[in-house]
A and B are shown apart, each in its own frame.
Chain A
Amino acid sequence: MFIRLSAAIAALSLLGSAALAQGAKPTDPQIAHIAYTAGVIDINAAKQAISKASNKDVKAFAQDMVRDHEAVNKQALDLVKKLKVTPEDNDTSKTLSKQATEKLAELDKLKGAEYDKAYLANEVAYHKTVNSALETQLIPSASNAELKSLLQTGLKIFQGHQQHAEQVAAKLK
């Protein structure tokens, strides 16, 4: 319990600081990069869960994450191609990726029910952070209407993911 809680708090504060680290308003190429990176991170976490999770609902949730985040990222790639925008790497993307790599390594050490709980706790925390970044920073900063609309679709589906993760987590207890 202590480990799980402290891990969740660490994940939250790390991600929170990553989202906040960005002082200036991000540009569209940066927003596209952040959104795409955030999706890749969750896909990687889900792929780990598909091979490691022991509970079937947790595995099914992870499969949902791969399916949805790949669909959103495909839309994002199609859009940047259409708009002839090159996604631009930035500090927020870099911090997100670095923290995600650490989190994956940390989760990799866990097994069985302990892993399942930790994965879901991180999914709840991660989606919360990404959703808050979308709501307060990325969507308001996006200048292209199609990019804004894609981010709004993303927000809607990710809010569902957060609730879904909470529901699956509640059933584990």
Chain B
Amino acid sequence: MRPGRYRLLVAALLLGAAVVPAPAATIQITIDNLVFAPAEVSAKVGDTVEWINKDVFAHTATARNGDFDVATPPKQTVTSVLTKAGSVEYYCRYHPNMKAVLTIAP
């Protein structure tokens, strides 16, 4: 192996280690009959949320502070990765009565 290649490999390994500090979890949040459940969820940065929309209605999971805005089409599951820490209130833009909280640890 040429030295250049070796250095690249080491760099890639180091970078990889820095990017993945801990195993990320997958959290499920269900939307059923116009309700987010569970209403309060704890997660950490890097976790994936699986938004499971069981309704025949289109919904969104929209952070009040603008951190995320996920469209959840009817009868579909979509995923999003949490990138910012904070206690985030989110709601459905189409049905503003639907509200819940996601607490994201750094």
Binding site for B on A (CB under 8 A): 60, 64, 67-68, 71-72, 74-75, 153, 156-157, 160, 163-164, 167
What are the residues of chain B within 8 A of A164 when measuring CB–CB? 95-97
Chain B interface, >50% SS class: loop
What are the residues of chain B within 8 A of A160 when measuring CB–CB? 34, 95, 97-98
Chain A interface, >50% SS class: helix
What are the residues of chain A within 8 A of B34 when measuring CB–CB? 156-157, 160
Contact size range, B:
10 to 19
Partner of B57, one of A157, A163, A167: A157
Closest to B98 in A: A160
Least CB distance from B66 to A in Å reads: 17
Closest to A163 in B: B97
Bound complex: CA of A64 vs CA of B57, how far in Å?
A: 10
The answer to whether residues A157 and B74 also contact, given A67-B57, A71-B57, A75-B56 and a CB cut-off of 8 A, is no
Interface residues of B in 6-31 (CB under 8 A from A): none
Bound complex: CA of A164 vs CA of B96, how far in Å?
A: 7
Least CB distance from A126 to B in Å reads: 18
Q: Is the CB of B94 within 8 A of A68?
A: yes
What are the residues of chain B within 8 A of A68 when measuring CB–CB? 57, 94
Q: Is the CB of B58 within 8 A of A67?
A: yes
Least CB distance from A80 to B in Å reads: 15
Least CB distance from B100 to A in Å reads: 15
What are the residues of chain A within 8 A of B96 when measuring CB–CB? 163-164, 167
Bound complex: CA of A21 vs CA of B74, how far in Å?
A: 36
A-B contact pairs, 27 of them (CB 8 A): A60-B93, A64-B94, A64-B95, A67-B57, A67-B58, A67-B94, A68-B57, A68-B94, A71-B56, A71-B57, A71-B58, A71-B74, A72-B56, A74-B56, A75-B56, A153-B33, A156-B33, A156-B34, A157-B34, A157-B95, A160-B97, A160-B98, A163-B96, A163-B97, A164-B95, A164-B96, A164-B97
Least CB distance from B75 to A in Å reads: 10
Least CB distance from B36 to A in Å reads: 14
Bound complex: CA of A94 vs CA of B57, how far in Å?
A: 28
Least CB distance from B60 to A in Å reads: 11
